[in-house]
Amino acid sequence: MRFPNVRVPYLNDNIGFTLFEDMGNVFARPQEMLPSMGRFHQPNRQICFQAPPFGQLSQCSYNYASHAVGIGVRYQTPIGPLRFDFGYNLNPPYFPSYTNITTNTTPGQPGQPPVVQQVGQFGYQRAPHFNFAFSVGQSF
């Protein structure tokens, strides 16, 4: 929803504000789109929390509609509006993740760097709730 531009000193009436709700996702196959539009939460997200072999990472599903709400500021320029949007994702996905951790450091021989041993540790992450976007031009 775009609001009429407001008059501000030095900027005249080149500043506008918006409120938005965004819904969408990217699907691996077209057949997954229609059944997923009615889902608000990530299906079977517990699978994403389990390390293999207990959890099969390929079974971590992202077939649902992600929603975000937010506010935006528009500044009119000769090349088009500059857009600053700040959104809050209502249902960000969880996803499996491996991170390298340092398990052992031993001193190297004189003149050589120390030996660092790293191993992968399984964990999970969640996409952030807060998002910021900057662009030039109208969104539609």
Number of domains in the chain: 1
More confident residue, 49 or 30: 30
| pLDDT mean over 63-82 | 92
| 60-82 mean pLDDT | 91
Each residue of 104-116: pLDDT tens digit?
Answer: 556 656 666 666 6
Domain that holds residue 45: 6-92+128-136
Closest CA to 88 of 135, 18, 22: 22
pLDDT at 103: 57
pLDDT band for position 75 (cuts 50, 70, 90): very high
Give pLDDT, residue 104: 54
Residue 109 lies in a domain: no
**Confidence bin at 134 (pLDDT 50/70/90):** very high
**C-alpha span between 92 and 64 (Å, rounded):** 10
Using pLDDT thresholds of 50, 70 and 90, give the confidence band for residue 117: low
Nearest-angstrom CA–CA distance, 6 and 14: 7
Tell me the pLDDT tens digit for each residue of 41-56: 888 888 887 776 655 6
Q: Is residue 62 part of a domain?
A: yes
For residue 83, being part of any structural domain is answered with: yes
Q: Is residue 40 part of a domain?
A: yes
71 within some domain: yes
Q: State residue 91's pLDDT score.
A: 92
Percent of the chain at pLDDT exceeding 90: 31
CA atoms within 13 A on the CB side of 2: 11
**Residue 87 domain-assigned (yes or no):** yes
User: What does the alpha-carbon distance between residue 20 and residue 85 come to, in Å, rounded to a whole number?
Assistant: 9
Determine, yes or no, domain membership for 31.
Answer: yes
Question: Is 18 within the bounds of a domain?
Answer: yes
